[in-house]
Amino acid sequence: MNRRRFLKHSLATAAAATLGAPATRTAWARTGSRPRLPLPTLIDVSKSGRLDLTAQQGRHIFGSGEPSHTYGYNQDYLGPIVRARRGQEVAVRLRNGLDEPLATHWHGLLVPGNVDGGPHQAIDPGAVWEPVLPIDQPPSTAWFHAHTHPHTARQVYAGLAGVFQIDDGQDDARGLPHEHGIDDFTLILQDRRFDGAGRLEYRLGMFDRMHGFRGDRILVNGAVNPRAEVPRSLVRLRLLNGSNARIYHLRLSDGRPMHLIASDAGYLPQPIATDELRLAPGERFEVLVDFREGGEVELLTGPDRNQGGPGMMGMMGALRSQASALLGDDLPVLSFHPNDTHGSVDRLPDTISDALDALPTEFVRHRRFSLDMMLGGMPMMRGMMGGGMAGPTMGINGRPFDMGRLDEQVRLGAIEHWTVESDMLMHPFHIHGVHFQVLADETGRSPRLENRGEKDTMLVDGRAELAVTFTQPADQKTPFMYHCHVLEHEDAGMMGQLTVS
Ligand code: C2O
Ligand code: CU
Ligand code: CU
């Protein structure tokens, strides 16, 4: 039997046996009115230089059902928005109030490995972690989240994520809105499933293990399909995909454009108008939307097309109906209701920032990474035959992640060329401690909108070429991670680690 036929046979058998968690179609209590968009607490640390965080357990009511067991930083679910200034140091004091170990990573911050918060820096229940973060990077929207191997997916799903903004106080000069909650909204997008009583659900079926976990409801800042009041002016949206696996294809219901002003690592030189924006797990984009005309409009997400090619779907067999239930439809995200107030910005800025750095053309070293779903490997077969508890094995360059194995050693400051390849599914590839440039993506040598500017996460659809230059050191005890940001893939081993010296 060839590999594909063998797989097809095994998968069909296993699927029939393990399709335990179908998409929940709960009788969600429709109250008629949508909840107000929650505004996360803003903690401005630019004066104090101190950040106190407690990871804690919570009971949170989503909608009108029963309370769910959740996790959060300083609150029941999710965490605050931390705002810091370029050039300062932030002394963090993070207490683990959970009854399990926790690592917390600063995704997008250019800080050394010893304060990066990767899986080697997990702390015990009751313990305190006190990293000092030197903030020296352009203004941007970064974030922080649980990174405890191999429990990242479950811990983030339960709510362990917050936003970290770097600000330089120059947004007035740039002509950008920046009043938090007035004309500057931070939006954490997550998809979730709920059981019949309205409680958060996280049970992995075979489909979820293969494709990553998706929900059938979209939460913004922890509220299901909320509504936001906005002024009749230009409004800034800072979008973070904090979902485990869902790729958003965002658009506005009346087709009005979004003006892209920033990606992961900071501002673009000029706004770029687009009517659709693809947002992969871990990515951030900032857009301006024009509400001067008034009129309600809905932010929607289109079908998540990360289903794999015909081969993948053929193999998935019995899982196909679950796939279409979770991936197939347009879903509402957030509705906007312009009121009578006016924000401070009523024209689109022409120029925001300096021109992007030229792409390097000479490299001291080439590395190749393939993001592998090792379907033919014994671990997967054993797992599936044994009832699907183990799930598929994921890896990079054929090897699942091993905390005790160093995969790469990189020279500080060396300009490297990385080729990253994916087969079967698209994978959002993230590297700790660095901002990279995308030399080529699936569209070729003029990367799509989402891949311009400096990035720390990009969706690899077949093949991508990156220019990567580390400016932060990381030693063997606390190496930097690079991984797929589909959190179930990361936990299943699609991650590697490197030192920089
Ligand atoms: Cu946002 Cu290593 O992760
Ligand atoms: Cu990161
Ligand atoms: Cu992946």
The answer to whether position 353 is within a domain reads no
Element (H, E) at 227: strand 227-230
Are residues 133 and 273 part of one domain?
no
The pLDDT tens digits for 160-190 are 999 999 999 999 999 999 999 999 999 999 9
Give the whole-angstrom CA distance, residue 305 versus residue 415.
33
**Is 350 part of a structural domain of the chain?**
no
Q: How far is ligand 1, taken at its centre, from the CA of residue 7, in Å? A: 31
pLDDT of 322 reads 66
Residue nearest to atom 3 of ligand 1 (CA): 107
Residues 306 and 231 grouped into a single domain = yes
108 Cα nearest atom in ligand 1:
1
Structure tokens at 192: 């979730």
User: Which ligand approaches the C-alpha of residue 282 most closely?
Assistant: 1
Distance 386 CA to ligand 3 centre (A): 24
Cα 28 from Cα 365, distance rounded (Å): 54
Q: Which residue's entry shows tokens 């429990």?
A: 151
Give the distance (Å) from ligand 2 centre to CA of residue 355: 25
Distance of CA 340 from the midpoint of ligand 1 (Å): 40
Same domain, 333 and 203: yes
Ligand 1: distance of its center to the CA of 450 in Å?
18
CA distance 464 to 461: 7
Q: Which two tokens stand for residue 100?
A: 């399990």
The answer to whether residues 271 and 189 belong to one domain is: yes
- Same domain as 301, residue 211: yes
Q: Are 392 and 492 in contact (CB under 8 A)?
A: yes
Give the number of whichever ligand sits closest to the CA of residue 431: 2
DSSP state, residue 474: B
Q: Where are the beta strands (DSSP E) in 264-310?
A: 266-274, 277-279, 284-290, 297-301
**Number of Cα atoms under 13 Å in the Cβ half of residue 76:** 12
Are residues 261 and 405 part of one domain?
no
The residue among 141, 171, 201 that closes a domain is 171
Question: What residue ranges of the chain have pLDDT lower than 70?
Answer: 1-32, 309-326, 375-391
Q: Give me the phi and psi of 60, to 5 degrees please.
A: -130, 135
Parallel/antiparallel/unpaired status of strands 495-500 and 50-60: unpaired
pLDDT of residue 323: 67
Helix (H, G, I), strand (E, B) or coil at 302: coil
- pLDDT given at position 319: 64
Its domain, for residue 142, covers 42-171
- Determine contact, residues 118/432, Cβ cutoff 8 Å: yes
Of all protein residues, whose CA lies closest to atom 1 belonging to ligand 1? 107
Question: Which ligand has the nearest atom to the CA of 488?
Answer: 3
Whether 11 is covered by a domain: the verdict is no
Q: What is the pTM of this model?
A: 0.91
SS (H, E, C) 197-256: CCCEECCCCHHHHHHCCCCCEEEECCEECCEEEECCCEEEEEEEECCCCCCEEEEECCCC
Preceding omega of 150 cis (within 30 degrees of 0): yes
| 178 in any annotated domain | no
**Which residues line the pocket of ligand 1, CB cutoff 6 A?**
105, 107, 145, 147, 282, 430, 432, 481, 483, 485
Q: Which ligand is nearest to the CA of 243?
A: 1
Atom of ligand 1 nearest to the CA of 483: 2
Question: 268 in a domain, yes or no?
Answer: yes
Question: Residue 355 Cα, ligand 1 centroid: separation in angstroms?
Answer: 28
CA distance 263 to 238: 9
Count of structural domains, the chain: 3
Ligand 1: nearest atom to the Cα of 490: 2
Looking at residue 447, its pLDDT comes to: 94
Domain CATH code at residue 299: 2.60.40.420
Ligand 1, residue 457: give the atom nearest the CA: 1
Examine the domain organization and report whether 323 and 453 are in the same domain. no
Full DSSP string of 320-369: HHHHHHHHSS-EEEEEEEE-S---S--S--S--SPPPPPPP---SEEEEE
Cβ–Cβ under 8 Å, residues 166 and 144? no
359 in a structural domain: no
Q: Do 167 and 197 belong together in one domain?
A: no
For residue 343, being part of any structural domain is answered with no
Among 171, 199, 219, the domain-final residue is 171
382 in a structural domain:
yes
**What atom in ligand 1 is closest to the CA of residue 143?**
1
Q: How far is the CA of 105 from the centre of ligand 1 (A)?
A: 7
Q: Are residues 167 and 188 in the same domain?
A: no
Neighbouring C-beta atoms of residue 99, cutoff 10 Å: 9
Choose one of 293, 322, 338: the last residue of a domain: 338
**How many CB atoms neighbour CB 199 within 10 A?**
18
Atom number of ligand 1 nearest to Cα 118 = 2
